[in-house]
Chains A and B, each alone.
Chain A
């Protein structure tokens, strides 16, 4: 589904990603963990060219994302992105947040998009918020809406960058529940998170990103029970 070949990213002089290669299969759930500043966000953002990779290639199925001739807007329609700070459109109602892109990009008629949005809102138990504005929602509600906004585009893959890190503890569960449900539905997912329980339960593979490389990669069982590198052992001893 997604193929990354020797991805490198520099910010001015600092090399943040030092050559990442990885392949994500259809329907796989990849959880990415690692210390803060190790390049996890940069990695995710490079996948949809929110950051321009310095070198390397990225493919979505057989389309090369990093090819300058590729229409990145078309690619992004197929890749949902969920941010730590939700980034709901503040000037629009929840309904318009969800329907804006499908309608303006000509994928759906307005009525059709609304119907689809209502179904999605029901799926996250927030149908009564359709006419609210983002500022009227709690953090957990905002993040569930942000997920729904991405889903409205019928993406092939969903990327999550620490979706629960900005939430009050009591709201983490409701967002993780939506993500688990999404995982069970067969969505391909790449999730950067510090929720180790989520990783153990949902992930097919867990990646340890450290110092700009994938330092270790394994099934959740092996990853957590038999970490190989000392840096991962050290990291896990601090977060578990």
Chain B
């Protein structure tokens, strides 16, 4: 029993304490969060723009050129693996860029933008058409009505699923090891190959992801309750 315990302790020490290895996990987590953060921002901005393009209609009610383009973008992004999108960004589109964090943030941001666009589109469509009619009836233009009346309500509708998308994004970034970035997942993997022991580093990394995501999910729950309350104000 004591022998078994001593072995566990030794493995733990090798995985986390020796050579201050815990710092590597921390740095890895930092990189993971950094990429997720920038990708999230790019995704939200891109998502709103793409959603508005997707919903744009010409005078006679037909789809606009922009709407078709936005549709293709959403289709292509959702129809291909994100690892491939990352590799294409790294090895083809931005092969002359050395800033790999930038490349990864862009790749994930562009990927996330497609999903965020669909969330926003649903959020906009969920706003009662009567709101738009009332806005147009007092003489506001299409874009003024969108900006002052529909979008604020759509964003409120979309906020919880958007946060959810961001939480998903944190996990999705675990593939950046493919382009040589030492995020949390890759760090755990590297330590495994150094200590010849997989359990502690991999489970450790899993626990860190889990805790971060659990905390964010709980915060999201609080946000959702707040929003629901403000519906009845």
- Chain A residues close to B by CB (< 8 Å): 48, 50, 73-74, 76-77, 79-81, 83, 85, 87-92, 100-101, 104-105, 133, 135-136, 146, 149-150, 153
Chain B residues with CB under 8 Å of chain A are 128, 130-131, 133-141, 144, 148-149, 152-153, 156, 231-233
* A160 nearest CB across to chain B (Å): 12
CB distance from B160 to the nearest CB of A (A): 17
The 29 listed contacts between A and B (C-beta, < 8 Å) are A48-B137, A73-B136, A73-B139, A74-B139, A76-B138, A79-B137, A81-B134, A81-B137, A87-B128, A89-B131, A89-B148, A90-B128, A90-B153, A91-B149, A91-B152, A92-B148, A100-B148, A101-B138, A101-B139, A101-B140, A104-B144, A105-B139, A105-B140, A133-B233, A135-B232, A135-B233, A149-B134, A150-B137, A153-B138
- In the bound complex, residues from chain B placing their C-beta under 8 Å from that of A105 are 139-140
The 9 closest A-B pairs by CB, nearest first: A77-B139, A87-B134, A101-B138, A87-B130, A81-B137, A91-B152, A76-B139, A73-B139, A91-B153
Given contacts A91-B152, A100-B149, A101-B139, 18 further A-B contacts (CB under 8 A): A50-B137, A76-B136, A76-B137, A76-B138, A77-B138, A77-B139, A80-B138, A81-B133, A83-B133, A89-B134, A90-B131, A91-B149, A100-B140, A104-B140, A104-B148, A105-B140, A136-B233, A149-B134
- B134's partner among A77, A83, A91, A153 (CB-CB below 8 A) is A83
The contact of A89 among B135, B136, B231, B233, by CB within 8 Å, is B135
CA distance in complex: A81, B135 (Å): 10
Report B-chain residues with C-beta under 8 Å of the C-beta of A79.
137
- Give the residue name and chain of the B residue nearest to A107 (CB): B139
Cα–Cα, bound, A135→B130 (Å): 15
Residues of A within 8 A of B130 (CB): 83, 85, 87
A50 to B138, CA, bound (A): 12
Could you tell me the distance in whole angstroms from the C-beta of B45 to the nearest C-beta in chain A?
21
Shortest distance between the CB of B129 and any CB in chain A (Å): 9
Q: How far is the CB of A146 from chain B (nearest CB, A)?
A: 8
The distance in angstroms between the C-alpha atoms of A83 and B135, with both chains bound, is 12
- The answer on a CB contact under 8 Å between A73 and B134 is no
Residues of chain A lying within 8 A (CB to CB) of residue B156: 91
What is the chain B residue whose CB lies nearest that of A100?
Answer: B148
Q: How far is the CA of A83 from the CA of B133 in the complex (A)?
A: 9
Chain B residues with CB below 8 A from A89, complex form: 131, 134-135, 148-149
Nearest CB in chain A: distance from B75 CB, A: 29
How far apart are A116's CB and chain B's nearest CB, in angstroms? 14
Contacts of A149 in B (CB 8 A): 134, 138
Q: State how many angstroms separate the Cβ of A72 from the closest Cβ of chain B.
A: 8
CA distance A92 to B134 in the complex (A): 13
Are B231 and A135 in contact, with the CB atoms below 8 A?
Answer: yes
Closest B residue to A68 using CB positions: B59
Least CB distance from B143 to A in Å reads: 11
A73 vs B137: C-alpha distance in the bound complex, in angstroms?
8
Expressed in whole angstroms, the Cα–Cα distance for A73 and B134 within the complex equals 12
Q: Closest Cβ of chain B: how far from A82's Cβ, in Å?
A: 9
Query: Roughly how many angstroms separate A158 CA and B233 CA in the complex, as a whole number?
Result: 30
Query: How far is B156's CA from A81's CA once the two chains are assembled, in angstroms?
Result: 27
Query: Which of A76, A77, A136, A146 has the most B CB atoms < 10 Å from its CB?
Result: A76
- What is the bound-complex CA distance between A73 and B136, given in angstroms? 7
A75 → B minimal CB distance (Å)? 8
Residues of A within 8 A of B232 (CB): 135
B135 closest partner in A (C-beta): A89
Q: Which residues of A lie under 8 Å from residue B138 when comparing CB positions?
A: 76-77, 80, 100-101, 149-150, 153
Contacts of B137 in A (CB 8 A): 48, 50, 76, 79-81, 150
Rounded to whole angstroms, the CA-CA distance of A90 and B153 in the bound complex is 8
Q: Which residues of B contact A146 (CB under 8 A)?
A: 134
Nearest-neighbor residue (CB-CB) of B127 within chain A: A90
Asked whether, in the complex, the Cβ of B153 is within 8 Å of the Cβ of A73, the reply is no
Whether A153 pairs with B139 at a CB distance below 8 angstroms is yes
